[in-house]
Amino acid sequence: MATHKRLFTSESVTEGHPDKVADAISDAVLDAILAQDPFGRVACETMVLTGQVHVAGEITTGCYIDIPRIARKTVRDIGYTGNKFGFDADTCGLSISIDEQSADIALGVDKALEVKGDGPAAKSAAESVGAGDQGMMFGFACRETPELMPMPIVLAHRLTRRLAEVRKKGVIGFLGPDGKTQVTVEYDGFEPVRVDTIVVSAQHVDGHPIDGIRSDIKEHVIDAAIDARLLDKNTRVFINPTGRFVIGGPLSDAGLTGRKIIADTYGGMARHGGGAFSGKDPTKVDRSAAYAARYAAKNVVASGLADRCEIQIAYAIGVAKPVSVYVDCFGTGRIDEARIAELVQRFIDLRPGAIIERFDLRRPIYSQVSAYGHFGRPELDLPWERVDLAKTLREAAGIKADEEKSPKPVLS
């Protein structure tokens, strides 16, 4: 197949971006409930805007949590304290509107269609839990980085994490919590060859000279996060290109839970089913099945069955077993894609209850992924990021170990 050079861009945002503030509050509420009630049902939505936090949704639990305290602590931990950036954890207004999960939805989640009526009794939670909604979820992996993630989103997240780090450690004292990055990588076919463009927009205190802002961000953020070997004399770098970014966070824009689903996943390199993650307990397949799809795709690539793999899983509400599993290896597979799909379903039980059990998802582990991506996080021990099934898949497919390819290392 002929190859050609092309550019691909991904974006990341810091934890102080208004949409990520909303995600963080929703996941903090979820974690607080799961810490006391692992079987709590949570669909928590948050909106933040000038001086206000609104928390709404459907929650069914026997425990009590102090949602206003949780919301204020989350905002405070992000860095919105005092009036310097127009949003203050201790003085912002709070409204709470929570109802219980719809009884109609609960019917399908509490007992899957497969075990209703005169059907067999469920022997375990893996059998009994039905999908909390219909929908399709995608997982993806590729050999561009050690994390088996696309390089553009990996580098964009590195920059935003570094922005937050230098702000919190005081390395750059003029930064605010809000910020965005964008990285464009040049590809030759499926091979990343260089970084073409970097964009960093960082909130800052008023009155700080733009030349100093650009110099400090270049030195302490870009140079620290991006290996120089990925850059060349033609790489374009834009730092606060408008020249001013003082008004940011909820003061500048309303933030909503679930509005950064591309930054949460693969930076646009893979398809997305449309469902967001934050604020949802694991009976919601928007979250748990997306994690399972990533696990499956990552183990397929790690096993050597393919260099790139995208997996779609689809569900009907109240039905445990997926209605379809689709595999696309973009011409890089070493065995037929239908065979890969069969192996995935043989070795990974994709019913919601089984996914929850496999990854132990009824735990308060979600706040840590509310920003900087849910996948490709080597600093976290995320169960859906493990490649413990790779050897099993490889052996079942009849691929010898010496045929397995190592991931192309990102220059870091």
Of the candidates 157, 284, 298, 351, the residue annotated as catalytic is 284
Burial (CB count <10 Å: 0-12, 13-18, 19+), residue 342:
middle
Residue 31 known to be catalytic: no
Taking the CA atoms of residue 383, residue 389, residue 391 and residue 395 in that order, the dihedral angle to the nearest 10 degrees is 180
Of the candidates 54, 157, 167, 259, the residue annotated as catalytic is 259
Of the candidates 54, 143, 157, 180, the residue annotated as catalytic is 180
Of the candidates 143, 204, 260, 298, the residue annotated as catalytic is 260
Residue 144 known to be catalytic: no
Of the candidates 85, 87, 138, 245, the residue annotated as catalytic is 245
- Provide the CA 109 distance to its chain's centre, in angstroms: 24
Of the candidates 8, 11, 17, 359, the residue annotated as catalytic is 17
Element of type H or E holding 351? none
Residue 45 known to be catalytic: yes
Tally of CA atoms within 13 A in the half-sphere of 362 that contains its CB: 15
Of the candidates 122, 125, 224, 254, the residue annotated as catalytic is 254
Tokens matching residue 140: 């993806």
Contact call for residues 65 and 33 (beta carbons, < 8 A): yes
Tokens matching residue 24: 């963080």
Contact call for residues 336 and 8 (beta carbons, < 8 A): no
Residue 330 known to be catalytic: no
Of the candidates 41, 157, 220, 280, the residue annotated as catalytic is 280
Tally of CA atoms within 13 A in the half-sphere of 69 that contains its CB: 4
Residue 328 known to be catalytic: no
Of the candidates 11, 15, 20, 186, the residue annotated as catalytic is 20
Of the candidates 37, 45, 186, 385, the residue annotated as catalytic is 45
Of the candidates 8, 11, 15, 19, the residue annotated as catalytic is 19
Of the candidates 77, 253, 349, 404, the residue annotated as catalytic is 253
Q: Say how far apart CA 326 and CA 337 lie, in whole Å.
A: 8
Residue 284 known to be catalytic: yes
Residue 233 known to be catalytic: no
Residue 23 known to be catalytic: no
Residue 180 known to be catalytic: yes
3-state secondary structure of 318: coil
Residue 58 known to be catalytic: yes
- CB neighbour list of residue 177: distance below 8 Å, 6 or more residues apart: 14, 15, 16, 78, 79, 80, 85, 164, 167, 203, 248, 249
Q: Say how far apart CA 263 and CA 89 lie, in whole Å.
A: 25
Residue 259 known to be catalytic: yes
Residue 27 known to be catalytic: no
Of the candidates 37, 186, 286, 328, the residue annotated as catalytic is 286
- Report, as residue numbers or ranges, the catalytic residues: 17, 19-20, 45, 58, 180, 245, 253-254, 259-260, 280, 284, 286
